[in-house]
Amino acid sequence: MMYSFMAIVGFGVFIPLLPSPWNYIAYGVIGSAFVLHLLTHLGAVTVDPADYNVRVRKDYSSPMPVFDKKKQPHVIHNQHCYLCEVDVGSKVKHCSSCNKCISDFDHHCKWLNNCVGGRNYWLFFMAVFSAVFGVLLLSVVILFFFIQHFVNPSSLRTAAAFQSVKGNGTWFAFLPLAPVQTSSTSLLVLAFITIIITLSSLLMLCHLLVFHIYLLCKGISTYEYVVKQRQSQNSRDQGGGATQSTQANPAAEQSPGPVDMPIDCDAPLSSRSSIFKYQSRGQTSSRLSGTICSEMEHFPQTADGENPPNYGSKSSAQIIPGEAPVSWGSSRVETPQVQQSSTGQHSEAEERPDVQRPLGTSIVDTTAVHQQLIH
């Protein structure tokens, strides 16, 4: 319908108003473009793009069976179509709209109501190219009429029918065979409507033409282009999801979690003196592992073979209720007292001595002890 409208308006109204010899040039060039478009369009519609084996069978009248995915994963598997029931080539795709295998499948064109494949691709391409060329030239003609109607209307009234008309208010359409009298306002409105239609058609046709020129330069089909775009989109979506989850919980990636650093001393220390307990009976800090072990090797051992700590300062002792007394001195170390049970066996105190400051009575801070041992 759009093609017919442009042909009637262009060749019946506006091109005959052009001054000679531009009207004859427009008839020849624009007419050739429109005829070429008509022939290529009809060819792209009527040519069967199906695979050779499908065309040999030529059995389109019978209904195509419904594909069952439980039996086969794909319609075409190992170059055999389970719907058309024929062996096909490597670039053959089964079109769900046409319900047949298309050789060198490009896309299904709803404007042609036919698939575009290897057999009719160039007909389709020439139809688009001729349409762009013809509509572009027709737009130039209509713009020329629109401008000249206000600038120099006499240049548009060179036909023989205008010689018998007085004034510039009367115009003719469908010259020279069947002149129909009309007004200048009617022609301007028709020119405005036509130019809007032609520019809109040019926008869509040029986009389609440029896209297929790009595909020809890349050597790929529309189907391959769409598949690549979907794969790229899926990759971007997966990458974006991973990035958002990382940004939402950055501590999960940066924090390595708690690290256990057990104290492993090679020196012969007994379990009673090698473990320091806080007054709160918490666990020994893992930060004192390496330094405490190296420093405790230099402490003098008692008769029991234990290594009580000696900081070499003034003697200071503190008795904690329920705990064994610990004495700190410069020359000697008092070991915890043990009691003789009624059975003659030694039982050590239920609680272990807490580490005290040399000159005070408060509990030793582990950070201060660590720094003193390092120095």
User: Catalytic site residues?
Assistant: 109
Query: What is d(CA 371, CA 366) in angstroms, rounded to the nearest whole number?
Result: 9
Which one, of 342, 347, 372, lies nearest residue 358 by Cα? 372
100 strand-pairing partners: 95
Determine how many CB atoms are found less than 10 A away from the CB of residue 142. Answer: 25
Q: Tokens at residue 50, please?
A: 């199906």
Q: What are the distances in angstroms from CA 74 to CA 4, 15, 80, 93, 208? A: 43, 55, 10, 11, 31
| 147 within 8 A of 156, measured Cβ to Cβ | no
Tokens at residue 329, please?
């001195």
Q: In this structure, are strands 114-116 and 107-109 parallel, antiparallel, or unpaired?
A: antiparallel
- Phi and psi at 343, nearest 5°, equal -90, 0
- Do 168 and 241 form a contact (C-beta atoms < 8 A)? no
Q: Using an 8 Å Cβ cutoff, are 101 and 76 in contact?
A: yes
What's the angle, vertex CA 282, arms to CA 280 and CA 283, rounded to 5?
A: 155
Each residue of 318-344: b (16+ CB within 10 Å) or e? Answer: beeeebbebbbbeeebebbeeeeeeee
Which are the contacts of 34, defined by CB distance < 8 A and separation ≥ 6? 3, 6, 7, 130, 134
